Amino acid sequence: MNSISITPGKNNVGAYINNVNLKDFTPNQFEKIKNTLNKFGVVFIKKQNLDSASYQGFAKSIGQPVIYPRLKGLDEKYPFINVIERKSEDKNLSFGSSWLHQDTSYLASDRPRYTMLMGIEIPSGQGNTIFSSGFNAYEKLPDEIKNKIENATGIFSSAGPIAVTRLEREKEMGIKSSKSLEAEHSIVKSVNGKKTLYISPGHLIKIKNVKEDEADYLMNYLVEHVNKKEFIFSYEWSKGDICLWDNLSILHMASEIKNCRRVMHRITIK
């Protein structure tokens, strides 16, 4: 067996994990995967093509998979696997597109930590997932801004800018959403001693614990900052690929998909 190796993604956003088979991984390999996830925030593991049992099993090695309330499970045996399907006739926005975000930032202490996707049916040349590194974005902030937001908190809402895609999907599936949810979180977080920005532009509606006359300016500044090209990596999928990311340190969004079918299996993990 070749030794597992790590290749950073473009702009040092995330890392590819090479020479690993997730159907049969060793404790040492798992430790390297988890350490790389902590360091980079997102890992890319190409062409694994796991069956549902292996996929759900790998998720359980990372943490506790959770039922995602806004999406249906695959079946009774695999309730944690959500099918994210884009049909060729769909004309509306892709689920989670247009706004970088950190999943379920509108939940309080019980929000899930990790999101994992596996490519099931991938259209050629479309359907990339866009990632932005909160680690890199924080590191490149001017000291003046770092000082201003040191103790800042954000109000995150499920009725934030990204809600339009959620509402369209719920209408498609015949789901009527509950009332909007809101939570307050620190803007600056630490993962294994490394600071990261937690601002989820798709959900952020207000910044608190800063000078009142600077709150709107700082919110807009940070949203523009994490969207800068130098912090972005557009990941091109192949069938069977797995992407696993930490929502504390990585922002993501779907790219536009037109006139084609795309199917992903998603697991949310605490």
Residue 217 to residue 196: CA distance in whole angstroms: 20
Amino acid 229: pLDDT = 96
* pLDDT over 90, % of the chain: 72
pTM to 2 decimal places: 0.90
What domain count does the chain have? 1
Contact (CB, 8 A) for 244 and 25: no
Mean pLDDT, the chain, whole residue set? 90
pLDDT digits (tens, 9 = 90+) for 87-136: 777 655 555 557 899 999 999 988 899 999 999 999 888 889 999 999 99
pLDDT per residue over 57-85, tens digit each?
Answer: 999 999 999 987 667 788 888 999 999 88
Confidence class of residue 165 from pLDDT cuts 50, 70 and 90? low
Residues 18 and 25: their CA atoms lie apart, in Å, by 12
For residue 226 the two structure tokens come to 């994490």
Radius of gyration in angstroms for the set of CA atoms belonging to the chain, rounded to a whole number: 18
At 174 the pLDDT is: 54
Tracing tokens 């702009």 back to the chain, one arrives at 11
Q: What is the domain range of residue 215? A: 5-269
Q: Is 80 exceeded by the pLDDT of residue 36?
A: yes
Check which CATH number belongs to the domain holding 93 and give it.
3.60.130.10
More confident residue, 176 or 270: 270
What is the rounded average pLDDT of the residues 220-241? Answer: 97
Burial-class residue 103 by CB neighbours within 10 Å (0-12, 13-18, 19+).
buried
Has residue 164 got a pLDDT over 70? no
